[in-house]
Amino acid sequence: MSQEADMWAQADQTTISSLTGSDIPVENLKLPANFVWGAATAAYQVEGAAAQDSKGKSIWDTYSHLEPSRTNGENADVTCDHYHQFDEDVKLMKSLGMDTYRFSIAWSRVIPLGGRNDPVNELGICFYNRLIDCLLAHGITPSVTLYHWDVPQALYDRYKAFLNTTEFRADYERYARLCFTRFGDRVQSWVTFNEPYIISIFGHLNGSLAPGHCLEASTDTKTEPWRVGHTLILSHASVVQIYAKEFQPSQNGKISIVLNGHFYEAHDESKQADIDAAQVRLEFYIGWFGDPIFLGKDYPASMKEYLGARLPSFTLEDLELLKATCSINAFYGMNHYSTKFARQLTTPPAEDDWTRKIEESAVNSKGEEIGPASSMPWLRIAPGGFRKLLNWVWKRYHLPILVTENGCPCPGEADVKIAMDDQFRQRYLGLYLDSISQAIYEDGVNVEGYYVWSLMDNFEWSSGYGPRYGIVHVDFNTLKRTPKKSAYYLQETFKTRRKGQP
């Protein structure tokens, strides 16, 4: 057991009841006056206009049209039609008092075939210029994600995208340079990749997200997810170095990556194996990317010991790049939704096991649930776990934290009345904002801002249009937008929480 694991085992022994959010009040605790808030979206989930103005196909355009369907029989060809209605959406953000908007650029909209020698689509460039200019005209700061899961299909067809590190890095570097050149005079905040864990595991091991690689012939789920992660880490570092050398001196922006992660509690607090499992699960989930990117070092020892030759090795040149770029990352982008229990299993693992045989669950050894469930069974209200994760990340990486995604879909939200009067979501948001306040003022964690997921209901990847995460309701027949009560709750709560605070 590591020293850090021991520290957490002996630290705040918060009871399960205080984690659940079912029996604690929302206190509307204070936040700093300069604490920024906004909403987040992803290009494929909201833009629509899937083949308009010379846009090329992405892996999600392909994946969402497969037969039999892997996306609930639905696709994002139109979705929220943000491509045509962004001006209305920006005005809505302004009316709700948002400071910032996090969105992603669709790589295949600006370079339809994706590659470093492929032509640029000026119509795609024009769209993002108009969006950025509209945001700035309304006093909203744009935060741009370069990659949110939608690699151009042409690159996947050519060389399987992330599975060829050399080719992907070269194409991604050209794409990033294009974005910095065309948009960097007005964009001050950049994210290289959104959730590399999901890209690696869900896209290339269990196949539940595009490209669904493991379901294809001749795949190797023992090694390929770790190769994908390796490509993402090195591609991130390359682009950070490019930005720092070629663009940051004149543009004065900041750049980093967004990592997602649950917090983990021991399934049985009386078992050392489960206490250790909770720490190891964090290292496999977050440390996998965080340690090389933010610390400039090798993968966590727990991963190297368990995975052995399945885990790629960094060359001396790679490590030099990571060391040179780790301090350039200006913030830690955190996507967080819930907390789980971790249980160490003793049965023999599968050949492609990626968890060190650790089982995740919402119920502990005493039969206690981690918290009330949203309409997604895995996503439960557990604000105490959020506070602990903020502390874990801060103590490990010592970087200002931006909560780049946080939110939930309400139970029963298919009913419009429940969707509009979304009390479950309001409670979730209130408790999680309280946890941020506690982390800042009681624990000394530097948290700079918060993006709710999501601005509006949208295409929720493999779940289609079932779960609704938006604080704005979208009627997908008429595309009418209507703010839910949670939107007005956030508008008012940030006014109140930031008022007069240092």
Which CATH number fits the domain that encloses residue 341? 3.20.20.80
- Supply the DSSP string of 96-139, one letter for each residue: TT-SEEEEE--HHHHSTT-STTSPP-HHHHHHHHHHHHHHHHTT
The amino acid that residue 105 corresponds to is: I
Peptide bond into 211 cis (omega under 30): yes
Nearest to residue 402, comparing CAs of 447, 370, 436?
Answer: 447
What is the strand order of the sheet 358-361 is part of? 263-266, 339-344, 358-361
> Domain containing 175: what range?
3-498
Residue 500 to residues 31, 130, 295, 443, 494, Cα–Cα distance (Å): 9, 35, 36, 21, 12
Angle at 388 between CA 382 and CA 391, to 5 degrees: 150
SS (H, E, C) 190-243: EEEEECHHHHHHHHHCCCCCCCCHHHCCCCCCCCHHHHHHHHHHHHHHHHHHHH
Residues with Cβ within 8 Å of 13's Cβ and at least 6 positions away in sequence, in order, are none
β-bridge mates for residue 147, sequence order:
193
Amino acid at 228: V
- Please state, in angstroms and rounded to a whole number, the distance separating the CA atoms of residues 43 and 322: 29
Instruction: Give whole-number Cα distances, 390 to 166, 366, 381, 437, in Å.
Output: 34, 26, 16, 11
Number of domains in the chain: 1
Of 339, 341, 340, 338, give the one whose Cα is nearest residue 269.
341
Q: Which has the closest alpha carbon to 188: 245, 140, 232, 251?
A: 251
Please report the pLDDT score of residue 22 as a whole number.
61
Angle at 426 between CA 422 and CA 428, to 5 degrees: 115
Q: Is 195 a catalytic residue?
A: yes
Alpha carbon distance 419, 483 (integer Å): 10
Indicate which residue of 47, 405, 413, 460 is catalytic.
405
Q: Which residues of 311-347 are buried (b: 16+ CB within 10 A; e: fewer)?
A: bbebeeebeebbeebbebbbbbbbbbbbbbbbbbeee
Tell me the C-alpha to C-alpha distance, in Å, between residue 89 and each of 47, 51, 192, 305, 470. 11, 21, 24, 49, 13
Q: Which listed residue (195, 224, 283, 460) is catalytic?
A: 195
Encoding tokens for residue 71?
Answer: 């996306």
Ramachandran angles phi, psi of 94, nearest 5°:
-60, -45
Tell me which H or E stretch contains 264: strand 263-266
Four-point Cα dihedral 200, 205, 209, 213, nearest 10: 100
Chunked mean pLDDT (size 10), the chain, 502 residues: 33 36 85 98 99 98 97 98 98 98 99 98 98 98 98 98 98 99 98 98 95 84 97 99 98 98 98 98 98 98 98 98 98 98 97 97 98 96 98 98 98 96 98 98 98 98 98 98 98 94 77
Residue-level pLDDT at 18: 39
pTM, entire model:
0.95
Which helix (H) or strand (E) element contains residue 342? strand 339-344
Helix (H, G, I), strand (E, B) or coil at 252: coil
Tokens of 129: 């210029």
Map 12-43 to HEC letters: CCCCHHHHHCCCCCCCCCCCCCCCEEEEECCH
